[in-house]
Structure formats: C-alpha cells, structure tokens
Amino acid sequence: MTITGNIIDIQKKTIFHGTIAVKDGIIQSIIPKEGESDQYILPGFVDAHIHIESSMLVPSEFAKMAVVHGTVATVSDPHEIANVMGMKGVEYMIENGKQVPLKFNFGAPSCVPATTFETAGATLDVADIETLMKNPDVLYLAEMMNYPGVLFEDKMVMEKIAIAHHYEKPVDGHAPGLRGADAKKYISAGISTDHECFTKEEALDKLKYGMKILIREGSAAKNFSALVDLIPEYADRMMFCSDDKHPDDLLEGHINQLVSRALAKGYDLFDVLQVACINAVEHYGLSVGLLKAGDPADFIVVEDLKTFEVQQTYINGSLVSDQGKCTFTTQEAPVINNFKTSKKAVKDFLITTEKSEMQVIKAIDGEIVTETFWAKVKQENGFVVSDTERDLLKMTVVNRYENQAPAMAFINNFNLKHGAIASCVGHDSHNIIAVGVDDESITKAVNLIIDNKGGIAAVGKGSEQVLALPVAGIMTNADGPTVAAQYLKIDSMVKDQLGTQLAAPFMTLSFMALLVIPQLKLSNLGLFDGKNFEFTPLFR
C-alpha cells in the first residue's frame, strides 16, 4: 500500500509532500516527491488517560467511535471495572480490547478499593499488582489516588509503587490540589504524571518537581482552558486526555477537538501535535507508530490544519475509519456483573433530626471538585426534605453489593424542579447514587437501576427513562451510536423536564461519590470530608 499527501514530521518540525509505502503493517519508506496535495498525513492521536468504562461502552464499541476521530491508541485505567469485579474485570477489558484494531494500553489499578471509607465489589492487593505487572499487556501502574498513603509512606502503597519500578513500568499520579513540599514528596516516590491539575499554578508546581502534566477535557472535568497556556513552554512534558468521556460527547469528537482548539488559540502546530501524538507514546513506551520508516503504520489523514476533521485512520496499515465511518465490525461482548442489593422502599430514604443546620455539597459545573456550606434544615411532617426554592436536594448513595441502609446527604447546584435522577456509575465503587426533589421519585429512580442491574435513570412528570448498563453495571455491550442516542434522550429529559442546568448532569452525579477528590462527597457509609480524609456530620 502507498499513500501520498503532505506529510507532517512532528519531531523534525517540517511538512513536505511525499509518499508513504506500507507492507505487512509497517512503514517501509517515506519518500519526498514533487507535487501538491489537499490532504495532510500525520501520526494518530493518543488519549493519555481514560477510563473506557465511563463511555458506558465496552472497549470494542468505544474503539469504533474513537477511530473515526483519529484516535489510534489510549492509555486506559480499568480502575472502574476493577472496583466492581476485581481481576476478572481487568482481564475482561484486556481481552475485549484485543478484538479490535485500536491500541488499548491498560494499566494495573493501584487503588481498589479507592479508599477504606466506602464499600467496593472487589480488592486488588499487592500480590494482584505483582501478577498484573508481570503481564506484558499491562504497561503501567495506574493513577495512585491514595496520595495521603504516599505522603505517610503507607506500607501497601509503597509496595505497589516499588513493584512497578521493579518491572520498569511508569506510575501514574492523581493528586488534586497538592502543592509545595507535599507535591515534591509525592513526585519523589517515582510518580510521573498527573491529570488532576485544575489551575495553572498547581501544574507549574508539579512541573517544577519533574512531573508530566496531562491536560484533561472530559464530559464533566474540563481543565483545558486553565492549562493550555502551558503548551508553548512545556510542550515536551504535556499530554492530552479525556479521563471520562460520555458517549454523546464521543460521538462529536475526541482528542482531535483539543488539537483544533489549541491551534485556534494561536499555539504552534508542532508543539500541539507533540502533546497530542508523541509524548504519551514515548512516556509509556507504546507500540504506536510515529510516522517513521520501520514504525507500525499508525497514522491519520486530515483535510486541513484548522478543524482537524479526520478523513481516514490507519492502524497497523489497515484502514479502520474512512470518511467518518468505522470500517471494522465487532461481536456482542459477554455480560459480567456484580449486583446484589434488593429493591428499596420510600421509608429507606426518610431523614429525621433535631438539629437546625445541615452541611451541603455544592457541585460545580465542569469540575469534579466540590465546595461545601451550611444551610437551615427544611422539615415537613417531622422529616427533613428537599427545598427546590433554595436548590437543596436530597441525595443518597445505596450499597449495590449488599443490603444496607442508604447513606443520605443534601446537594446544591443540580437545580432539579421535579423528579429524580440515579446512576450506578458512581466513582469509584459504583454504588447507586441519586438526587431528587422527593422520596417517591428517588425510590423509583434507584429501583430502576436495581431492576436493570445497572444503568442511569430519570423519573419525573409522570414519565421515566432508563439506559441499562448490564456489563458490570457500568457499561453496555450495545453499539456506540445507539447508546449515544439513548443517552442524549435521557440527558434531554433531565434538562428539559426536570430542570437541571448542568452541562453533563449524569457525569457530575457520578463524581459526587468520588471521595479522593475534595471537598465534600458522599459514600455508602456516610458524608466524607475529602480535605481532612475523614467522615463528617450531616447536621449540627
């Protein structure tokens, strides 16, 4: 096979007209030649940190959507399914990913469960990490979320990091807001990346101590605007990632969108493409071609250098996407699950107190961090209830792995006027999480999740919708466009009928149980202060 066009050599910072010859999936030669072309050829894009599970798609179906946007590889942390299914879940992701051409590069989840302050479905201990590190399909130790464990040199945490270093595999970081001496100590433990920076100052602090910084732009956490100005000075130490990407957003674009946005701000083409295409390959030692003779033939064809609309995607010399359509097919993936709780009753969500004030979680649109404040309690018939006028809505986390009394809290900034929404995509343990204006709606929404052994649901104004997620309760084996359409329908219901103004209400909801991100979150065991890493009272 040969292909001719304007070839972009990112590392040499040149563009020239030429022909690429490919045989047996390997680039044999790249030869400059006279002529003109209306297409550009360059290395494919790499998502440097993503949880495939958050797309609600199994890897093979995710791949069919991602290649259309020029993504040829991902650095994927199977942390979510590991919290539900343990080693069985990690193996499921690796094997399913092998069914398709896209190059999934999985890590060993370092924190399963993420904390001891919640109930997960599984545990990965030091021996499990050793087993995974020996596996050639596992390329790195995934995000070390237990940064307090690193700072206090917890024995198990340090053993996991040491195992990764023994096998000469990188260790990913996760340390939101960590600065100064603490950041230096965390990084000195051999942790090489962080995707959690939400300010330029925080990123600069970590860059100063030798860390590489990922610019994250997902469906809920959007840090592109805060960090993109670092590219001119630190292009060799930055990468693009999505972290969590819902199917409707994946339908619209992937890393290609970040490239286009960075270029629109006037940044150098070669710097931006180094961030999008090169750095992750070199940092993780990925078997991904960089458009050189002898490399795997992994490259994309784009029409222009502004929008970066992808015309074709090649992986190992095979055309995997052509004019916006995936060229390969998949078989239906098997279902695995771990869902054991029984249906709930309205009485399970009733709250009583003699106190006058309650501590409220404040969700922030476009962020996974939260704020907190105290508000006066509203009671009716002796029970604490939601107050839609003040946007103080009842929230619950229900243990999906065993029968247990639901944990209760209140949340601000969801602005629901009717009904309730629920999901068992509830990072990190994936218990059921719900927010609603009344106990009846909350109960209905939670039970829709239980009936389907996983999913997202909305209830209100005499209607209800559910998108079932039968694979581990967090994914579906249906095709991507169908799932995206179903997701858009339920998302529209939550915005148009129930009243939320959040850009991605279900993604935001999923992070309200993420204890390792400050400030205030809710687990199935209670309200949690993410700054002091301890439970905190709901009332005072």
Phi-psi region of 294 (alpha: psi -120 to 50; beta: other; left: phi over 0): left
Per-residue confidence (pLDDT) for residue 506, from 0 to 100: 94
Q: Cβ contacts of residue 332 below 8 Å, gap of 6+? A: 477
Task: For residue 143, give the H/E element and its range.
Answer: strand 138-144
Instruction: Please choose, from the candidates 488, 505, 387, the residue with its C-alpha nearest in 3D space to the C-alpha of residue 445.
Output: 505
Instruction: Please choose, from the candidates 528, 401, 515, 524, the residue with its C-alpha nearest in 3D space to the C-alpha of residue 111.
Output: 515
Per-residue confidence (pLDDT) for residue 185, from 0 to 100: 98
Residue 136 CA to residue 124 CA, distance in Å, equals 18
Q: What is the pTM of this model?
A: 0.94
Q: Cβ contacts of residue 30 below 8 Å, gap of 6+? A: 7, 18, 19, 20, 21, 291, 292, 293
DSSP class per residue in 466-521? EEE--BTTTBB-S-HHHHHHHHHHHHHHHHHTS----SSHHHHHHGGG-TTSSSEE
Q: What does the DSSP 8-state code read for residue 454?
A: S
Residue 448 CA to residue 464 CA, distance in Å, equals 9
- In DSSP terms, 387 is beta-bridged to 392
- In DSSP terms, 138 is beta-bridged to 106
CATH numbers and ranges of domains, the chain: 45-287 (3.20.20.140), 346-535 (no CATH)
In contact, 231 and 275? CB cutoff 8 Å: yes
How many CB atoms within 10 Å of residue 536? 14
Per-residue confidence (pLDDT) for residue 199, from 0 to 100: 95
- Binned average pLDDT, 10 residues per bin, the chain of 540 residues: 97 97 98 93 98 96 98 98 98 98 98 94 98 98 94 96 98 95 97 96 97 94 95 98 94 96 97 98 98 98 93 98 97 95 98 97 92 98 97 98 98 98 95 98 98 97 95 95 95 96 93 93 97 95
Residue 465 CA to residue 449 CA, distance in Å, equals 11
Amino acid letter, residue 414: F
